[in-house]
Structure 1
Amino acid sequence: MSLLDPVWLWLLVPVGLLALAYVVTSVRRSAYAVRFTNLDLLDKVAPKRPRWRRHVPAGALLGMFALLVVGFARPTAEVQVPRERATIMVAFDVSASMGATDVAPDRFTAAREAATQFVRGLPERFNLGLVTFSSEASVTVPPTTDRAAVFSALNRLTTSSGTAIGEAVYSSLEAIDNLDGEQEAPPAHIVLLSDGSNTTGRGLAEAAAEARSRGVPVTTIAYGTPGGTVELQGTEVPVPVDGPALRDLAGAAGGGFYEAASGDELQAVYDDIGTSVGYRTERQEIWMWFVAAGLVAALVAAVGSMIWFSRLP
């Protein structure tokens, strides 16, 4: 939190002096009560009550003054604000290694279910597109607000050989460039999920540089475990996840990098990504929070004084 007009904080000095005066007065009142020798009469004119009660209205009133002073100083804080519009491209690995069963029931099925939940969680006004890649990359669904088209495409996915991660980035960028009907291009973001290394097509460094030059971050998800295997033509083939390559891609393209070794972890990753791309951080004035808290403190002071002492403070 920061303050736009901190000079107003000088008003806390008289508030502090008022608090000090209250403490001194309370101490003197207690000392006078001790010197009052007729204890029976003292009990009648000033019956015992819980000591904390008489301090509640005064404390709440002083708290109100302090909160209002801070409010006048115009405090600000970073606040997450929902984006009205954005374009999200989901690049989905459909290579044969996604059939590995180190993730139940298999990488492909778990990833497709998590991607479906991710799509459901995005704001309705977001343009959403789907790129699938194996030995080649293709735009399966151009950016659209039609979620049904994306769901239908996800349900029709099948696996194939090869992993063209770099081409998936280029295809996503091309789909973003071809978005029609936009007077002012909304912010765009690519979310790429893969479990392997780039085996064909243009390289990751080249793709990352292109994405960065266009101002489109690429967030990558390394999905699977180091011990994953898949059966190809009757042979068990190791398909360990290649996290370092995807980490480098994300870092060079200005995006985030995640690792997920289960369906639940992947869903948590997608939830986190949805929050980051669905909101932007703005510094806003929050003085109204302090004014509201000050009014609540004033109400506590008034109600407490009326209930316990039948008067307003």
Structure 2
Amino acid sequence: MLSLSGFTTPWWFLLLLVVAALVAGYVWAQKRARKETLRFSNLAVLDRVAPKRQGWPKHVPAALLAVAMILLTVALSGPTAEQRIPRNRATVMLTVDVSLSMMAKDVEPSRLEAAKVAAKEFADKLTPGINLGLVSFAGTATVMVMPTTDRAGVKQAIDNLSLSEATATGDGINASMSAIDSFGKMVGGPGGAPPARIVLMADGGQTIPRDLNAPRGAYTKAGEAKKAGIPITTISFGTDYGTIDIEGQSQPVEVDDEAMEEIAGLSGGEFHKAASAEQLRRVYDTLGEQIGYEIKHTDASRPWLVLGTLAAIVAAVLSLLLGRRLP
């Protein structure tokens, strides 16, 4: 397939000037030959001795040769094509809010249960080379699984997520960064630690501490993640009409989209909103594509080289068949 998205040695395109000159020379030679023919005094004799090469077919070999030279020039210029390649070296910490607000049933069967299903699908669809870890947070944060390529362990830990009081979003981010740092020191080679990202899924505002800009606050930790080169992709999960029952009283648990978007922005990451289980799955599918694959520019000269060579061969064969000589 002929495709390209850039050239490694574009100066080879200067050869097209030579091709243009050869085409111009060929046209000039044909016009001159025609004039010489018209000056021939005995047209009857000319008709008997000259080869019958009237019409456009005699120009086909020359045209094919010019096309071949153009194709080969493109090949020499080092065309590249974008190719989607699975990542084999990256770290992702899935950081999940397990505060009591996650028991809300505005997303069936509940926010937490829907989140578990989507998170396990996300783990299954990630490319095998990605190291995936899991952190849960409520009043405190817990590293449930260190980054690993073992998806079974991560999915089992997701199944074991349970609810607790309060929401310490900053602690969740901090625990994820610590896990990434520890893992990076263990596996980092000459090229350094693998690239990392935090995927933060929460439904409500931070309650511990109340100030998002406090030392333990989510905004502060998002800024630290930015400095560490760890973008945070945030997923605000739930609706504005969610409620939970606490001691027989209904408590509203609206999602805090503004805070989640700010966390993503401060860390250099992206913000996503999901108000249903299906939307959450779509967000995770998108993240799986972004995280699991990368676009690389690979050599795309082979098709151009093959076609250029074939065109040159056909030009030579036709030249021998039509005129017993090369154009």
Q: 2-side partners of 1:59 and 1:229: how far apart?
A: 75
In terms of Rg, which structure is larger?
Answer: 2
Q: 1-side partners of 2:243 and 2:67: how far apart?
A: 64
Pairwise mapping of residues 82-101 of structure 1 onto structure 2 (< 5 A)?
A: 82-101=86-105
Decide whether aligned partners of structure 1 residues 233 and 293 sit closer, same or farther in structure 2, where only a CA change above 3 A counts: farther
For residue 182 of structure 1, what is the amino acid of its counterpart? V
Residues 58-87 of structure 1, C-alpha deviations (whole Å, 9 max, x = no match): 877655433321221223456544332222
1:176 paired residue number: 180
Contact 1:222-1:258 at 8 Å conserved across structures: yes
Q: Report the CA distance between 1:5 and its aligned residue.
A: 2.5
Contact 1:114-1:266 at 8 Å conserved across structures: yes
* Residue from 282, 296, 306 that aligns with 1:295: 306
In the alignment, does 2:198 pair up with 1:194? no
Decide whether aligned partners of structure 1 residues 296 and 131 sit closer, same or farther in structure 2, where only a CA change above 3 A counts: same
Contact 2:9-2:77 at 8 Å conserved across structures: yes
Decide whether aligned partners of structure 1 residues 16 and 194 sit closer, same or farther in structure 2, where only a CA change above 3 A counts: farther
Q: 1-side partners of 2:63 and 2:243: how far apart?
A: 67
* Residue from 255, 265, 273 that aligns with 2:269: 255
Contact 1:74-1:285 at 8 Å conserved across structures: no
Structure 2: gaps spanning 5 or more residues: 31-51, 210-215
Q: Report the CA distance between 1:17 and its aligned residue.
A: 6.0
Tell me the percent identity.
41
In the alignment, does 2:165 pair up with 1:161? yes
Decide whether aligned partners of structure 1 residues 4 and 146 sit closer, same or farther in structure 2, where only a CA change above 3 A counts: closer
In the alignment, does 2:125 pair up with 1:121? yes
Contact 1:85-1:186 at 8 Å conserved across structures: yes
Q: Report the CA distance between 1:160 and its aligned residue.
A: 2.3
Decide whether aligned partners of structure 1 residues 136 and 15 sit closer, same or farther in structure 2, where only a CA change above 3 A counts: same
Q: Report the CA distance between 1:249 and its aligned residue.
A: 0.8
Contact 2:203-2:256 at 8 Å conserved across structures: yes
What is the TM-score of this pair, normalised by structure 2?
0.73
Q: Report the CA distance between 1:170 and its aligned residue.
A: 0.6
Q: Report the CA distance between 1:232 and its aligned residue.
A: 3.1
- CA RMSD of superposed structures (Å): 3.8
217-226 or 292-301: which moved more? 292-301
Secondary structure in 2 aligned to 1:178? helix
Q: 2-side partners of 1:95 and 1:57: how far apart?
A: 76
2:246 paired residue number: 232
1:48 paired residue number: none
In the alignment, does 2:66 pair up with 1:70? no
Decide whether aligned partners of structure 1 residues 223 and 6 sit closer, same or farther in structure 2, where only a CA change above 3 A counts: same
Q: 2-side partners of 1:245 and 1:208: how far apart?
A: 11
Contact 1:92-1:194 at 8 Å conserved across structures: yes
Secondary structure in 2 aligned to 1:143? strand
Q: 1-side partners of 2:252 and 2:315: how far apart?
A: 71
Q: 2-side partners of 1:88 and 1:195: how far apart?
A: 20
145-154 or 293-302: which moved more? 293-302
For residue 136 of structure 1, what is the amino acid of its counterpart? T
Secondary structure in 2 aligned to 1:90? strand
Q: 2-side partners of 1:255 and 1:158: how far apart?
A: 27
For residue 174 of structure 1, what is the amino acid of its counterpart? S
Q: 2-side partners of 1:89 and 1:234: how far apart?
A: 36
Q: 2-side partners of 1:57 and 1:268: how far apart?
A: 55
Decide whether aligned partners of structure 1 residues 16 and 170 sit closer, same or farther in structure 2, where only a CA change above 3 A counts: same
* Residue from 138, 142, 147 that aligns with 2:142: 138
For residue 177 of structure 2, what is the amino acid of its counterpart? L
Contact 1:221-1:257 at 8 Å conserved across structures: yes
Secondary structure in 1 aligned to 2:265? helix
Structure 1: gaps spanning 5 or more residues: 27-44, 46-50
Pairwise mapping of residues 4-19 of structure 1 onto structure 2 (< 5 A)?
A: 4-16=8-20
Count of residue pairs brought into register by the alignment:
292
Contact 2:80-2:301 at 8 Å conserved across structures: no
For residue 207 of structure 1, what is the amino acid of its counterpart? K
Decide whether aligned partners of structure 1 residues 302 and 164 sit closer, same or farther in structure 2, where only a CA change above 3 A counts: same
Q: 2-side partners of 1:305 and 1:101: how far apart?
A: 75
Q: 2-side partners of 1:106 and 1:140: how far apart?
A: 21
Q: 2-side partners of 1:247 and 1:275: how far apart?
A: 21
Q: Report the CA distance between 1:181 and its aligned residue.
A: 3.6
Secondary structure in 1 aligned to 2:205? coil
Residues 174-202 of structure 1, C-alpha deviations (whole Å, 9 max, x = no match): 22233374243222211110111111142
Secondary structure in 1 aligned to 2:235? strand
Q: 2-side partners of 1:240 and 1:23: how far apart?
A: 77
In the alignment, does 2:123 pair up with 1:112? no
